[in-house]
């Protein structure tokens, strides 16, 4: 009888998790970008420079979220054994960004009459 050979640990199979994570960040960025466009329009039509400034900030933040999505996807695809943990700062900033986009959207609705 042949003794059993110890097997090397198999590399981690990430499955579709990196793609789901990247898609979630992209959906967040898209929602913020659409909200930014609506806020910019409302600010321009309602002669509200503060809304225009918030809209520009939201557009820049949507670009940053898209860039982070790309970076995070590459990190997850490179992970062999254990994926790197999510940055709690990035998650907190995304939540604050979503709240700001929502508040700006509501403000833009109230501005247009």
Sequential pLDDT tens for the chain (113 residues): 666 666 665 555 556 766 787 788 889 899 999 999 999 998 888 888 999 999 999 999 999 988 988 888 787 777 666 666 778 888 899 899 999 999 998 988 887 76
* Whole-number Å distance between alpha carbons of 87 and 11: 23
Query: For the chain, how big is the Rg over CA atoms in Å?
Result: 21
pLDDT at 16: 72
Task: Answer yes or no: are the C-beta atoms of 83 and 75 closer than 8 Å.
Answer: yes
Q: CA distances (Å), 27 to each of 8, 22, 30, 39, 41, in order?
A: 38, 9, 5, 18, 21
Is the residue at 36 inside a domain?
Answer: yes
The model's pTM: 0.74
Judged by phi (left if over 0) then psi (alpha if -120 to 50, else beta), residue 85 lies in: beta
Split into its structural domains, the chain has a count of 1
* Whole-number Å distance between alpha carbons of 15 and 75: 14
pLDDT at 3: 65
Q: Domain span at residue 91?
A: 17-79+87-111
Is the residue at 106 inside a domain?
Answer: yes
Is the residue at 74 inside a domain?
Answer: yes
Is the residue at 54 inside a domain?
Answer: yes
pLDDT at 5: 65
């Amino acid at each position: 009888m042949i003794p059993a050979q110890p097997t090397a640990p198999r590399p981690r199979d990430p499955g579709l998790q990196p793609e789901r994570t990247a898609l979630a960040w992209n959906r967040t960025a898209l929602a913020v970008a659409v909200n930014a466009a609506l806020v910019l329009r409302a600010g321009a039509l309602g002669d509200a420079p503060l809304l225009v400034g918030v809209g520009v900030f939201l557009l820049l933040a949507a670009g940053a979220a898209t860039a982070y999505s790309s970076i995070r996807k590459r990190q997850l695809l490179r992970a062999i054994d254990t994926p790197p943990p999510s940055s709690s700062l990035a998650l907190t900033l995304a939540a604050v960004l979503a709240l700001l986009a929502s508040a700006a959207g509501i403000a833009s609705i109230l501005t247009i009459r």
